Structure 1
Amino acid sequence: MSLITARHPTPAPDTTTSTDRSTATSTAATTEKPAPARKLARGAGLGVLLALLATVVWSGSFVATRDMADTVPPIQAVFWRWIIALLAVAPFAARPFLRQWRTIRRHLGFVALASLFGVALYNTLVHQAGLTTSASNMGMIMAASPVIMAVYARLGGERLGARRILGMLTAALGVLLLVGKGSLAVDLAAGDLWMFAAALSFASYSALLKRKPAEIDGLAFLFTTFLLGALMLAPAYAVSLTVQGGFTVGLATAGPLLYVGVFSSAVAFFAWNKAIALVGAARAGVVYYLQPVCVALLSYALLGERLGLLGGASMALILGGVALASARGR
């Protein structure tokens, strides 16, 4: 009886050095998983684009707000703005709001403070300013808010860096020249002072956003601030309705209200809140310096107002300052 032994092939000796293996492993890991720096750069780019979207949309809202100033009382305009905004976001945000209600209730003080500065107070001041100042001045004065955002960021421990400070100062110089028509001496009307108060309120809201509890969904947070803001405005709305009477609903009032309710509130606030989460209030605030540029371009396109040499030079300073301050180092 013969025994047949199965021969297994002898594995070839591994001639790969440990250095080669580590190099291959490192290359594969780099191929499979994006570098953290690359992810950070993509997030920063998206944040800047979202801040730009909000800035452009808000620029149009100053024109719409000024257009309503003579026909709709400020408090009533702001109240209906947030009712329209609530209806616009409800199909997307109502379910996350109900699902996270217990979490929202735990942080209700923070959310109420954000609603006060960003929804109730800020927009009321803007509409009040529209009674006695132009849309262009409103947009240009709001460009002061990035300076306040940067101050808040610095107080919060964020390092601004020399490049960002230089970019902010350059953009601020462009804004001052644009407001002062070539002079740094600016003559302010009552509406301009209301707008500076609005800028302070908006900067405070943006600084608060950086501390938003991470467990609260963005849409749920947006819906809650809109709801609380409308509730805060309800008593003032009732007084305005009693003292001033209502307004006539027609194309001249419905169009601007729909714009500020759907686009300037629902779309722009969602984009801005997301931008703050991605790049922070100070960096998003630098993009906000483009507001006077957008308002000037809209005035030229819709009203035929020419920019002139001074307007072009001021815009160049603002754009250059924004580009310098928004750039991220290696």
Structure 2
Amino acid sequence: MAVMDRAGTGTQQTQQTQARTRTRLAPGKRGAGVGVLLALLATVVWSGSFVATRGMADSVPPVQAVFWRWVIAAVAVSPFAARQAWRQRALIRRHLGYTALATLFGVALYNTLVHQAGLTTSASNMGMIMAASPVVMALYSRVGGERLGARRTFGMLLAALGVLLLVGHGSPVPDFAAGDLWMFAAALSFATYSALLRRKPAELGGLAFLLTTFVLGTLMLAPAYAVSVTLQGGFALTPGTGGMLLYVGVMSSAVAFFAWNKAVSVIGAARAGVVYYLQPVCVAGLGLLLLGERTGPAELGCMALILAGVSLGARR
């Protein structure tokens, strides 16, 4: 009888634990709203990084810029993440293959492609082309079994149309520069990273995962950095380049990646990707504030389409 009682009690505790887990994995409206805000924060910060990346294009070789970006990011996040990473070192070793794959696409490859694109294309084009990545995110989510729904699909298509018209300056046929191909590769890499985030082991802490990817990304880039310094030489550290490296290292890496990873864990890659469509709008706004670039009626109309699509696609 005692054995049966203990078995019943164990079953009840297991059911309660599973119920609490389901509650955490199925956020309500408040949790979804926080997820959307986090995705928006990451999008705005990354929009500024395109301006900084373009500003460094003539003074800092791409691989060197990306290498120091992750060194700075690792230093910035260490005070908050080092203790958790040390406690979970066994988990990190167990899931090292997954973490290395996510690092390759989200840290090493994606950002190198972005900085390479900054050599031959404008910050506005970089932002607009990166807005294509939510389409790939949605396809990954659909293949993974996630139901997109009619409203979210329509919102995604509406936002995609706005991006297409914006890139084509009002024409559905885009007019790309040579460097824009690097950005398409970057968009694919970032979408792959976002899809991988949905498979992050639940027991692995967000900060520990973040610090691990930053350190692994730096190690992956170290050989290419050594080759770049040997062939191209180093760069002069000025207040301008130092400030831009700090921005992309602290804000665009430590802050934005933490916000994006958390957003994807709460609302999923597909819904976070819809918010990411705001990238061209944010870049255009920063271009107006920082570079004095004007936005005409056609661009405003395209941005209205993007905003309408995001509003539809981001709602539950």
- Scaled by the length of structure 1, what TM-score is found? 0.88
Give the Å deviation of 1:302.
1.1
CA distance in 2, matches of 1:50, 1:37: 17
> Which among 198, 203, 206 is matched to residue 215 of structure 1?
203
How does 1:1-330 map onto structure 2 within 5 Å?
A: 40-328=28-316
In our comparison, the structure showing a higher alpha carbon Rg is 1
Note the alpha carbon deviations across 1:144-167, whole angstroms, 9 max, x for none. Answer: 000000000000000111111100
Give the Å deviation of 1:39.
5.3
Give the Å deviation of 1:106.
0.5
Give the Å deviation of 1:311.
1.2
Taking only the aligned residue pairs, the percentage that are identical comes to 75
CA distance in 1, matches of 2:299, 2:291: 16
Q: 1:37 to 1:121 in 2, by over 3 A?
A: closer
Name the aligned partner's letter for residue 70 of structure 1: D
Give the Å deviation of 1:327.
1.1
CA distance in 2, matches of 1:133, 1:219: 34
Give the Å deviation of 1:37.
12
Note the alpha carbon deviations across 1:7-42, whole angstroms, 9 max, x for none. Answer: xxxxxxxxxxxxxxxxxxxxxxxxxxxx99995111
CA distance in 1, matches of 2:231, 2:25: 58
Q: 1:39 to 1:185 in 2, by over 3 A?
A: closer
- How well do the aligned residues superpose, as a CA RMSD in angstroms? 1.3
C-alpha contact 2:25 2:266 (8 A) present in aligned 1: no
Note the alpha carbon deviations across 1:185-227, whole angstroms, 9 max, x for none. Answer: 1122221000000000000000000010001000000000000
Note the alpha carbon deviations across 1:271-313, whole angstroms, 9 max, x for none. Answer: 0000000000000000000000000011111111111101110
Q: 1:38 to 1:281 in 2, by over 3 A?
A: closer
Name the aligned partner's letter for residue 131 of structure 1: L
CA distance in 2, matches of 1:248, 1:299: 26
- Scaled by the length of structure 2, what TM-score is found? 0.91
CA distance in 2, matches of 1:79, 1:63: 18
Q: 1:36 to 1:191 in 2, by over 3 A?
A: closer
- Structure 1 portions without partners, runs of 5+: 1-34
CA distance in 2, matches of 1:138, 1:232: 24
Aligned residue pairs total 294
Name the aligned partner's letter for residue 254 of structure 2: A
CA distance in 2, matches of 1:49, 1:73: 33
CA distance in 2, matches of 1:302, 1:43: 34
Q: 1:39 to 1:232 in 2, by over 3 A?
A: closer
Name the aligned partner's letter for residue 114 of structure 1: A
CA distance in 2, matches of 1:262, 1:97: 19
C-alpha contact 2:158 2:305 (8 A) present in aligned 1: yes
Note the alpha carbon deviations across 1:42-92, whole angstroms, 9 max, x for none. Answer: 110000000000000000000000000000000000000000000000000
Q: 1:173 to 1:108 in 2, by over 3 A?
A: same
C-alpha contact 2:197 2:264 (8 A) present in aligned 1: yes
Name the aligned partner's letter for residue 227 of structure 2: V
Name the aligned partner's letter for residue 35 of structure 2: G
